Amino acid sequence: MKYVKFALVLAFALASVTLFAQTPLSSLVAAGNKVFVQVVNDEDHPLPEDEVADLIRETAAAGQWESVTSAEEADFIIAVQAKKKMVFNSPRTWLTPSVSDKEGNVLWKGDTYKADATMFNGYRATNTAISKMVENGFNKDLFKAAGR
């Protein structure tokens, strides 16, 4: 009987910790909040400026967030590690998103999403990587972790 009570108390404690841990993420990534998208370009293989603008715009639209130009104005920050490199004469793009609060605490980190430029995607590796990041990273992983 003591073990059953102990197990129930432990399960309740774990459920409470999980619930409280999810509260900040769910409130931060709620639709309508302000987001600062920080693109952290690879020094040797950066994304071009027009593709950085596409990445910022599409990331903000994915969660129905308002994009702001400084971290001080934002409710939360999405940092996207970005790299674009030629592989076998074809551009390849890698994107790794993460969500942090204004204090810099990382609350969620996504997988790395990559795409090659092919005739099927109009030779747009970055746009395809953005689509993968939004569909798999945000819609499946981030929003699920936030309870959206």
CB neighbours of 143 closer than 8 A, spacing ≥ 6? Answer: 29, 63
Report the candidate in 132, 137, 97, 136 with the shortest Cα–Cα distance to residue 114: 132
Mean pLDDT of all residues in 76-94 = 88
- Which of 37, 73, 84, 62 lies closest to 148 in space, CA to CA? 62
- pLDDT of 21 reads 47
Alpha helices by DSSP H, the chain: 2-28, 49-62, 125-132, 143-145
Arithmetic mean of pLDDT over the chain: 83
* For range 3-7, the mean pLDDT: 60
Quickly state the pLDDT bin for 86 (edges 50, 70, 90): confident
- Tell which residue, 148, 146, 147, has the closest CA to residue 25: 146
Q: Where are the beta strands (DSSP E) in 75-141?
A: 76-87, 90-100, 106-109, 113-116
| pLDDT confidence tier of residue 74, bands split at 50, 70 and 90 | very high
Instruction: Report percent pLDDT > 70 for the chain.
Output: 82
User: What is the value of pTM for the model shown?
Assistant: 0.77
- Is the pLDDT assigned to residue 34 strictly greater than 70? yes
**CATH class of the domain comprising 2-145:** alpha beta
Least confident of 20-29, 37-46, 55-64, 123-132: 20-29
User: Is the pLDDT at 4 greater than 70, yes or no?
Assistant: no
Q: What is the pLDDT of residues 96-138, one digit of tens each?
A: 999 999 888 999 999 999 988 776 666 778 889 999 999 999 9
CB neighbours of residue 37 within 10 Å: 21
**Cβ–Cβ under 8 Å, residues 78 and 46:** no
